[in-house]
């Protein structure tokens, strides 16, 4: 109770929600997320960029377009983090979609440029499989938001949530008509600008919907992707870290 009182009384932007998500009650975590979001939103709305930003979209949600463009932002596209490998698996799987429907993926990386050869190879795979890939480490969140908005994507997918290095300000500018989050942070972001979260019934059961401000987009299987080398116990389901299994499913 003392810890919860401390977090509720602390400055919203000084709290790392990712670090406390496993010790704080989920209902309190949602309150903290909303407080953090409201505080950050006020700061974003005071910027000149927000006042000039064009959030009008030529998008009709009742139609299914033959081309669907998705912008994906992550601070973990460093060639080593498991998110890089998971997105490679996703991109390869989408190559197998039926003709007549095209998915475009535009990746934006706010991670540091890798120096190790093995990590560079992973990034090369991301670049080759995506429709565009830019390194945005030296860009401000203003510049990243403008870039994503210029892509005219139907969906913006944030992979950071409230983890370290997250650029939540980009989501608050509503850079795409549909915005969702996935992977980096499995709790709620408490932002009305982000309408959906990709999740599964193990991470969040249907009964937990009241603890999220987002609507659930359920995967049919447990989606967490961890390389086999991360498992240390013999009884762990090692197949969870097998990219070929994820691709097949």
The answer on pLDDT for 153 being more than 60 is yes
What is the mean predicted confidence (pLDDT) over 220-235? 51
**Could you tell me the pLDDT band of residue 242, with boundaries at 50, 70 and 90?**
very low
Q: What is the pTM of this model?
A: 0.82
Q: Which two tokens stand for residue 160?
A: 């950071």
The answer on pLDDT for 243 being more than 80 is no
Where along the chain do its domains lie?
Answer: 66-248
The answer on pLDDT for 114 being more than 50 is yes
Q: Which two tokens stand for residue 23?
A: 């010790």
**Could you tell me the pLDDT band of residue 117, with boundaries at 50, 70 and 90?**
confident
- Strands (E) in the chain, as ranges, are 67-74, 102-109, 132-135, 155-158, 178-181, 196-199, 215-218
Q: Which two tokens stand for residue 102?
A: 């095209």
What is the mean predicted confidence (pLDDT) over 108-133? 90
Q: Measured between alpha carbons, how far is 91 from 76 in angstroms, rounded to an integer? A: 16
Q: Measured between alpha carbons, how far is 166 from 174 in angstroms, rounded to an integer? A: 16
The answer on pLDDT for 183 being more than 70 is yes
The answer on pLDDT for 109 being more than 50 is yes
- Strands (E) in 99-214, as ranges, are 102-109, 132-135, 155-158, 178-181, 196-199
User: pLDDT at position 194, please?
Assistant: 96
Q: Please tell me which residue, 93 or 245, carries the higher pLDDT value.
A: 93
User: pLDDT at position 70, please?
Assistant: 94
Handedness of CA 158, 161, 163, 165 (dihedral sign): positive
User: pLDDT at position 7, please?
Assistant: 64
What is the mean predicted confidence (pLDDT) over 188-202? 92
What is the mean predicted confidence (pLDDT) over 170-199? 92
Tokens 């950050």 label which residue? 40
Domain 66-248 belongs in CATH node 3.40.50.11380:
yes
Contacts of 79 (CB under 8 A, 6+ apart): 114, 116, 118, 119, 120, 121, 122, 123
13-27, 29-43, 137-151, 234-248: least confident range:
234-248
Instruction: Dump pLDDT digits (tens) for 51-105.
Output: 777 665 544 444 556 788 999 999 989 887 888 888 898 888 887 775 677 889 9
What is the mean predicted confidence (pLDDT) over 141-165? 91
The answer on pLDDT for 223 being more than 90 is no
* Contact assessment for residue 137 and residue 109, using Cβ atoms and an 8 Å cutoff: yes
Q: Measured between alpha carbons, how far is 178 from 155 in angstroms, rounded to an integer? A: 5
Contacts of 170 (CB under 8 A, 6+ apart): 73, 141, 144, 145, 148, 156, 158
User: pLDDT at position 99, please?
Assistant: 65
Q: Is 42 buried (19+), middle (13-18) or exposed (0-12) by CB count in 10 A?
A: exposed
Q: Count Cα neighbours of 37 within 13 Å in the Cβ-side half-sphere.
A: 19
**Could you tell me the pLDDT band of residue 233, with boundaries at 50, 70 and 90?**
very low
């Amino acid at each position: 109770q003392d810890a919860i009182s401390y977090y509720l009384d602390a400055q919203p932007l000084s709290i790392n929600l990712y670090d406390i998500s496993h010790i704080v009650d989920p209902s309190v975590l949602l309150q903290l997320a909303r407080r953090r979001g409201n505080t950050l939103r006020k700061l974003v709305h005071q910027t000149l960029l927000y006042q000039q930003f064009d959030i009008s979209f030529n998008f009709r949600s009742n139609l299914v377009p033959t081309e669907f463009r998705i912008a994906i932002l992550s601070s973990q596209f460093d060639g080593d983090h498991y998110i890089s490998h998971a997105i490679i698996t996703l991109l390869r799987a989408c190559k197998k979609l039926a003709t007549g429907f095209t998915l475009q993926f535009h990746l934006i990386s706010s991670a540091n440029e890798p120096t190790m050869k093995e990590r560079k190879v992973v990034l090369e795979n991301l670049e080759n499989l995506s429709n565009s890939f830019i390194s945005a480490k030296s860009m401000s969140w203003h510049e990243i938001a403008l870039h994503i908005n210029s892509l005219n994507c139907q969906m913006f997918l944030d992979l950071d949530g409230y983890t370290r290095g997250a650029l939540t300000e980009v989501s608050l500018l509503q850079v795409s008509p549909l915005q969702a989050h996935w992977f980096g942070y499995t709790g709620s972001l408490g932002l009305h600008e982000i309408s959906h979260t990709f999740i599964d019934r193990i991470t969040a059961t249907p009964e937990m919907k009241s603890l999220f401000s987002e609507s659930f987009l359920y995967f049919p299987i447990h989606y967490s992707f961890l390389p086999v080398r991360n498992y240390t116990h013999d009884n762990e389901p090692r197949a969870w870290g097998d990219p070929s299994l994820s691709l097949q499913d």
